[in-house]
Amino acid sequence: MKNYKIGILRDKEDLVINITNDNIINITGMVASGKSTLAMKLKDDNTTLICFDYLFGYEKEKRTQEITNIIKELEMIYPETKNQIIFKRVNNKEKIKIMNLKYYEYTEKFYNYLLENVKKPIIIEGLHFYRFMDIKPIKGKIIIKRTSLLHSYIRAFKRDVCSKGKKYLKGEIKLDVLKEKFCQRIKIPITTYIRINKYIKQIMEMEIEK
């Protein structure tokens, strides 16, 4: 089998696989690999763009009204997911505590809901495809960003830590917030790198069996 793995030092072309003929584009890759940037390039006025992070309590400021309405409908169907996020600040020291990892068990349910209820062509992007989903439910086309481990890591560090550093210098955030993001991003995501390459291997094996 040809080596389709994401590289450690060198970027590779995006891996594009047509799983079914449905009008859906699924985009995944490592943190800061360029998923959101690609999704925005592909989006037009007739397309619904959904980042999985929106559905799981993050990036509220980026949600459109369309996404907000979808989240409200999902919370009516699964009321236990209302107002939850995986990481929540607790007590006055703003420590991070893992709340409910089982919340991610709803990834496939949310995905199936989108397929059944969103009438326009859909672009869905996020880490969730290889972290929390089986391959079988995926419809349409999947694009895997093969930005290298090194470049993804550097981009994530610059995006999250350097930007927070600027906000700290301006007095917009506390030092604890900067420290938290630094500790999160200083770790090289080797586990994630291994996981997504296993996912790619599974997809390619599935394609060979067709």
pLDDT on residue 81: 76
d(CA 30, CA 127): 7
Spatial neighbors of 24 by CB under 8 A, at least 6 apart, are: 115, 121, 122, 123, 124, 139, 140, 141
Domain assignment of residue 1, yes or no: no
- pLDDT (tens digit per residue) in 55-109: 876 777 778 888 889 888 988 998 877 766 554 443 334 444 444 446 667 888 8
pLDDT higher than 90, residue 179: no
pLDDT on residue 88: 44
Q: Which two tokens stand for residue 153?
A: 């890591």
CA distances from 106 to 27, 29, 36, 123, 138 (A): 18, 20, 22, 19, 14
Global pTM value: 0.86
Domain assignment of residue 58, yes or no: yes
147 and 34 Cβ atoms separated by less than 8 Å: yes
Residue of 205, 210, 209, 165 whose CA lies nearest to 1: 205
Domain assignment of residue 127, yes or no: yes
Domain assignment of residue 178, yes or no: yes
Domain range enclosing 179: 15-209
- pLDDT (tens digit per residue) in 118-167: 988 999 999 989 988 888 899 999 999 999 999 999 999 998 888 888 88
CATH number of the structural domain spanning residue 93: 3.40.50
Burial class (CB in 10 A: 0-12, 13-18, 19+), 183: exposed
Domain assignment of residue 9, yes or no: no
- pLDDT (tens digit per residue) in 196-205: 999 999 999 8
What is the percent of the chain with per-residue pLDDT over 70, rounded to a whole number?
88
Domain assignment of residue 5, yes or no: no
Number of domains in the chain: 1
